[in-house]
Structure 1
């Protein structure tokens, strides 16, 4: 009994910190709302257009401001009160959710409204994302950082399960208006938590130009052993391995010939697997050979993605979605943990903005490319090809023996 208790205490030790608990709860509620809206939004875009390109375009426009402005957001996250930056980001996203609900409720919604609001949400996230990435590690001690990152992944993927479930029920029972309204209301939770926490990091006053600060962050990445490789690997991972969920409505409609209930099932399977993957990271975070293990997991993700793309049987596809969720989250958590451990708090906003830019840029670029390839080659071949490309990337890093590239700062020479 005691060993079991010690095991769970080790897995969930980040919850010993009050501010982390508050942020976790607020972020979880808000992320649930985001997935409720995402469910309705993806289904609505495909129903309005019947063109998979618009699914990719919607995701691309949501990520475009992040690609354009997150580097500036990283600089400001190292200069300003990170809590205030996050609050501004939440206000922007909340307004967009309520506006989308109003447009749908008044029956004037058009696809360009959704695309435009996705862009404005991405604009808010381009400054809120670096602030959140920089704020989170300051809520726990350094020895519990990896665990906090894994726990943050768990809240994200718990929301991935609960959100689509609520979204599916709300969409089929009450309509898309309630999905967007629930998302707007969910931002209140994270806003309250931000007012309750105590921010320890106080940025140093500086008159240094923004571009100079940005260059300093990029120089830090280039000089810090392991960071450049992690940035490249993060981009390739999301470019080839994270586009599957964006085109699930196409699989549901054209391969399985089903409706929103099947879409919900696949998203829930993915989310359940993601929680298992994050818990696994929390359990083995001190395991040696973390870089090599990450690459093996990425190789598995590529194989699983290709297998799902070629599967015509829903039960097998559901099982593969569970495995895809586990490998996706385990690899992402391992890479993010290493990136956070490599950097310093004074540089964290800038460094993590570059890492997050690479990580997030791959998603819309991959989705946009696949949105164009799917009409030509079919959804199965296009997604299977993306999975094989991820296998090739993982094999390259493995065969090049890049294990020493992924060492955390504590293992590097000062």
Structure 2
């Protein structure tokens, strides 16, 4: 008897749950639209300014509200209807996408328009992110939580392949306006799925102030073994390991001296690698030893990032982008699974908002810092140094802080 049916049943076991399937399909369609817009937006920002600082500033402003408001979003995710929070977030992002499409349609768009709308989208995500992170584990059984997180990573990375491909085609044949309009339409899918699922979580009544609830969540993280280490690793991973994708247009134009087709191919290779990394996590079933495995994968990611930064040969760079995508997604999925398993349902919104804040904060901090460093030292040296910094942090937790454990919380 072939082992293939058994492998697929184990790897895709979260799809047994109806509500998870609905959310997965809606989120996938919406994320594809987001990547269609990101393709056009990154290329246009650099094309309009020819300054990597503005690329970094756009990423920074998109993530800044998450740094400012996601802790409040986590408190509200434990107190309010998570479905309504998510719907509000989707409405905000959809309106911004259509507004940007309109600005391009009437030839009125300026760089500052893009920057302001990135900030407003970030506000929507700062409240929608904690609600989604808290809602996802309630759609599956606890034994399938890690698999559901990996499947969620897979939909994200399917979008990373499909989105830039559609974005490249739409940008070349129809123009930037259609890239933003397609993103706006894509939000209808996740909005429809939110109306169809059965949300079982009922928020408990609380008389505590928002700040008191926030402090309670931070206290839980501080005293929960392994959680602080995960928060630090999440920040360092995105600070040093995710910066590569944000500055790909600089590599394409300055190092390889190519056009948007090469940029698209690099994103596709990265997305394909990410799917493979997420599938590998989805197929695994054991929690024991995942902390050490995560650190080893992060070391590999740092070395791959440095290798890509120094590469001048496109075939090698495509291969390294594939490997970077695989290690990024495998490490991110494993860290998120461990964080979800360590926390409790009553604290999930607050704890995951802190974790997500750390994870997301590394992106704008890195974007802004490296956007300043690249003109001084060059894009290759700057991002090679970022990769080595990630290796150093991972080795510290692997060899020095060896007593950190990751034990699941009682449900």
Task: Assess same fold via TM > 0.5.
Answer: yes
Q: Distance in 1 between matches of 2:223 and 2:380?
A: 41
- Determine if the alignment matches structure 1 residue 143 to structure 2 residue 143: yes
Match of 1:4 in 2: 4
Coordinate RMSD, CA, aligned: 1.0
- Determine if the alignment matches structure 1 residue 322 to structure 2 residue 298: no
The superposition leaves residues 162-201 of structure 1 with CA deviations (integer Å, 9 ceiling, x where unpaired) of: 0000000000111000000000000000000000000000
- Determine if the alignment matches structure 1 residue 337 to structure 2 residue 334: no
Q: Distance in 1 between matches of 2:87 and 2:407?
A: 34
Correspondence 1:174-213 to 2 at 5 A:
174-213=174-213
Match of 1:59 in 2: 59
TM-score, with length taken from structure 2: 0.99
TM-score, with length taken from structure 1: 0.98
Structure 2, unpaired ranges of 5+: none
The superposition leaves residues 341-369 of structure 1 with CA deviations (integer Å, 9 ceiling, x where unpaired) of: 01111110000000000000001101110
Question: How far 1:283 moved relative to its partner?
Answer: 1.5
Match of 1:358 in 2: 358
Match of 2:268 in 1: 268
Match of 1:80 in 2: 80
Q: Distance in 2 between matches of 1:102 and 1:180?
A: 9
Q: How many residues align?
A: 411
The superposition leaves residues 51-91 of structure 1 with CA deviations (integer Å, 9 ceiling, x where unpaired) of: 00000000000000000000000000000000000000000
Per mean C-alpha deviation after superposition, the further-off stretch among 286-295 and 143-152 is 286-295
Question: How far 1:2 moved relative to its partner?
Answer: 4.3
The superposition leaves residues 269-315 of structure 1 with CA deviations (integer Å, 9 ceiling, x where unpaired) of: 00000000000011224153111110000000000000000000000
Does the 8 A contact of 1:292 with 1:403 survive in 2?
no
Match of 1:128 in 2: 128
Q: Distance in 2 between matches of 1:262 and 1:159?
A: 18
Extract structure 1 runs of 4+ deviating beyond 3 A. none
Match of 1:107 in 2: 107
- Determine if the alignment matches structure 1 residue 251 to structure 2 residue 251: yes
3-state secondary structure, aligned to 1:70:
helix
3-state secondary structure, aligned to 1:406:
coil
Question: How far 1:4 moved relative to its partner?
Answer: 1.5
Does the 8 A contact of 1:229 with 1:405 survive in 2?
no
Q: Distance in 1 between matches of 2:200 and 2:11?
A: 25
Question: How far 1:405 moved relative to its partner?
Answer: 2.5
Structure 1, unpaired ranges of 5+: none
Does the 8 A contact of 2:229 with 2:404 survive in 1?
no
Q: Distance in 2 between matches of 1:115 and 1:163?
A: 21
